[in-house]
Chain A
């Protein structure tokens, strides 16, 4: 006797369902964890304030204030990628969720993308809050010349940044406990090298070029050029070049993430790493 079956989506529809299902906890998390909202907004605002006061004390060009504010808002995304993307599969394994992800027919890539999309939405609220509060505090004025370019710059930056997070998720999982150390290690230097609080051009050509591997560096630089059109002389490279690099980074990171996931699953199944628990 055959019993009735429940219909299940496959292919693209399954991918889509999986992605949004995984994004969901992050999106509702935006509202359920108000205390995070507070800290994740307040701390960057304080950091930005620090830079602004220094800039004012040393009489740096006024444009630097706006630069620091924008950079401060973007740190929210950087922290999100570091703590909630790169380390996420590692925590998920500890929690027992990774097994369920691998076991489910929904592709792992959709799970990762869902994490990214959810993270962007959640962090977007933090970034917006930081931007609004700091702009009001320090009376920043914006002069957006090409809004479409700005949208493109933001989207490409997000794609490259979260693509990197997706790649790191597998890498961190395999490297185990070192993941946490690496996260810690990366956080502060990147603030500096990526020019979160000042134009990256100030670091000199070679450091800036090297730092361009990190998707935020050029993305932020392009966005600054586009938002503070009056001060475009502080930009590192022409905006189209920067965006082209971002595009390449996005494609490379996301493709690499795909292969890293496949590899992760393979060695996980071979070595029993998907199932082991710390006892």
Chain B
């Protein structure tokens, strides 16, 4: 039994058909996932890192049986997501960040109790577990508050622990810290880590577009972009891929307009692999991934030729963001979702 992986997918794909009236030329389908092959062992804290629109939620919804794949197969704890949904549902839970679920009229405790009963938990045991977990996340003093009186952050925390009250084998967390303040987000990460330590045979799959979160929390991680899985490894190994290359951050006087011709751009300087440029407080910040340090001279030369000058230069340890940039040529903060025209 324990050999069956927690999660297994083979050539998994999902295409959405767009419904509703469309203008001529609008796409009729959106390819949200393509050929995802993934195996997550039991006991892993696994991360899916990718920008908005990468397909993270789609993958989670397929694994939690809320959405059917259009191609390929997926298994959770050995059960098929299409035909054995009921077996899976008994053993998993899912929470999405920014969730607004629950009934405003009920208290925190009552909402959680209701959801726990949907999983067949004994009423007394449910109450006891709810009490304990509210304590852990610092919500115990609000247990009797109606959730309509709660801030969105607290409400999100309540929904977050909903995912653990039912004692699941696999927990799916879709951007669990989305919109939370720094302290609350830290508490949430802390909770996940401690829960995994206390339950080494359970599995967590979480998605995030915060690279620091993925780096800090996950045992292994898949980087996905535009529905494709680009890399899959431990955070350390992923970053080591860039060890031989050189990662720099430069602050320079404003660079001015982007040159029109490709050969005049910074990207065209020999040895430059990836460039991201951001304007910041009257200066330009350039993040560079170079084939080697030798390319730096050419970069500085280029900057001078564009009438700018160096303010600061820092050689950095590569981050996951750099790994992502290296893979796809843009940062994680770019929203890549395809938006369908609203039907009405």
Contact = CB atoms under 8 A, between A and B. Distances in A.
Interface of A: 1-3, 5-10, 13-14, 17-18, 20-22, 24-25, 28-29, 32-33, 95-97, 99-106, 111, 177, 268-272, 274-275, 278-279
Given A20-B117, A21-B117, A96-B101, A3 B200 contact: yes
Given A1-B201, A2-B201, A28 B122 contact: no
Interface size class of B (residues with CB under 8 A): 35 or more
Contact of A8 (B92, B106, B120, B344): B120
A103 B122 contact: no
A78 B146 CA distance: 28
Q: Which 5 residue pairs across A and B have the least CB separation, nearest first?
A: A21-B117, A9-B120, A104-B118, A96-B101, A6-B167
A131 to B, nearest CB: 25
A111 B17 CA distance: 29
Nearest to B32: A272
Contact of A275 (B61, B115, B123, B166): B61
User: In this complex, which of A5, A20, A101, A104 has the most chain B Cβ atoms within 10 angstroms of its Cβ?
Assistant: A104
B100 A95 contact: yes
B114 A25 contact: yes
B118 A18 contact: yes
Q: Is the interface of A mostly helix, strand, loop or mixed?
A: helix
Contacts of A7: 121-122, 125
Interface in B198-212: 198-202
Nearest to A19: B117
Given A105-B118, A106-B119, A5 B167 contact: yes
Given A7-B121, A100-B101, A275-B57, 13 more contacts: A3-B200, A6-B125, A6-B167, A8-B167, A10-B120, A13-B120, A21-B114, A21-B117, A32-B146, A103-B93, A106-B117, A271-B19, A275-B61
A28 B94 contact: no
Contact of A21 (B19, B68, B93, B113): B113
Contacts, number: 121
B310 interface: no
Nearest to B122: A7
Contacts of A103: 64-66, 89, 92-94
21 contacts: A1-B201, A3-B200, A5-B167, A8-B119, A8-B167, A21-B114, A28-B110, A29-B105, A96-B96, A100-B115, A104-B118, A105-B89, A105-B119, A105-B120, A106-B117, A106-B119, A106-B120, A271-B17, A271-B19, A275-B66, A275-B67
Given A21-B114, A28-B110, A177-B344, A96 B100 contact: yes
User: In this complex, which of B101, B120, B200 has the most chain A Cβ atoms within 10 angstroms of its Cβ?
Assistant: B120
Contacts of A96: 96, 99-101
B117 A18 contact: yes
Nearest to A25: B103
A275 B58 CA distance: 9
Contacts of A8: 90, 119-121, 166-167
Given A24-B110, A104-B89, A105-B89, A3 B201 contact: yes
B66 A102 contact: yes
Contacts of B146: 32
Interface string B157-178: 0000000001100000000000
A279 B167 CA distance: 32
A105 B66 contact: no
A200 B10 CA distance: 62
A33 B104 CA distance: 11
Contacts of B103: 25, 97
Contacts of A28: 105-106, 110
Nearest to A100: B101
Interface string B23-65: 0000000000000000000000000000000000100010011
A7 to B, nearest CB: 7
B120 A14 contact: yes
Contacts of B119: 8, 104-106
Nearest to B107: A28
A97 B101 contact: yes
B86 interface: yes
B61 A17 contact: no
B102 interface: yes
Contacts of A9: 120-122
B129 interface: yes
A99 B66 contact: yes
Contacts of A17: 117-118, 120-121, 123
A3 B19 contact: no
A24 B66 CA distance: 25
Contacts of B344: 177
A33 B105 CA distance: 8
A247 B68 CA distance: 38
A99 B118 CA distance: 13
Contact of B86 (A2, A100, A105, A278): A105
A96 B96 CA distance: 10
B100 A269 contact: no
Contacts of A20: 117
B43 to A, nearest CB: 9
Interface in B178-199: 198-199
Contacts of A268: 66
Nearest to B14: A272
User: In this complex, which of A14, A29, A272 has the most chain B Cβ atoms within 10 angstroms of its Cβ?
Assistant: A272
Contacts of B100: 95-96
B193 to A, nearest CB: 16
